Structure 1
């Protein structure tokens, strides 16, 4: 990821598009490219892929849902964070957005500060999920920290961890990735173990961060062990 993360903004409303672009670029934190349609967005994706996408849902020709579906079907962009920014704020609309694969859903009108916080959080999680697996020093440090976490929890509980008071729905593949992360495996090892790509593993780790509200592998493992999500 570049020093200044690249954000692709897709919205057919010129006024809102210009306002969001100006706000995101106000403190020079992001490099923003703004387009008016999903077709224009795809041209940007092919030539200069962003680190995150903010997209409207209700757009002519190609809706945000259709755009997101195409993204998730392309292995190059399957794990790209997507924020839906839309006037459709009913609970059923949000559920549909998350089921389609968006990472965050922000109804209009919204507070610009909240949008910036969401963007920063998703970028941080993506960066954490794509930790360099080739760095043996990092691997050893993570394994040591996970062992320390296990030891501390064993001393605290004596027998086992208490079940989580919050129900977190994990898919079978997410559970498999979580279990392997808890064993101290890095993304390349997990990809080999599960016979999938490193990009897919990064996607699952990023989803685990999002579902557990954590920002690093060790935070994720600590949370999972403390709440009985893995053993």
Structure 2
């Protein structure tokens, strides 16, 4: 009886494997461009950096050069080293029916310090969300003070904006514009922002975000800035490495 029951299971597994093979394309080199799933589309640079995210063709947010490191043993904030300055960059794209994956690897070397970082980012684009993961590591302890990135919501598309942190109460973005962290003194693992006709939700894992009012500039934005201090990791042989690892899930939609 056991033998008879096990045969159909093998057939099902084989059929699933064949189905998956025909529905997933192998990774191909990607030189940058647009990726679209449903109403959601993103523009990615040749360095694997998210330049813009749009809903139904309307630009909603961008980033500031991808992930970055900042600080050194000599200075709290300098040098700043973004992904867009990276070297030996390799970007690949993989398509399936429900998701496009963009994987980027390379090296980031901060100026005027001895040492460099290896990094890997993965962008998964679905019809209703983007999942972004990043890992950066170096053999040099204290090569940098913090690693992270930012998302910049176009303020023009978030009129009379409201926000809430970690599922709390909705709060108004004050009418008086100013360069300040609206979450001070706390950071958030989940941040919702709505205004005009859009709702944006950011869920962070392994890192938390600030929320800055940056509407005074030539390109007024509401900016999420997230960063993590350098952490120590050990492999199975006890070798130490230093870096950071985190992910962000971004959901964008029209708030009807």
Which interval holds the TM-score relative to the shorter structure? under 0.3
Scaled by the length of structure 1, the TM-score of the pair is 0.24
- Report the structure, 1 or 2, having the larger helix content: 1
Compare CA radii of gyration and give the structure with the larger one: 2
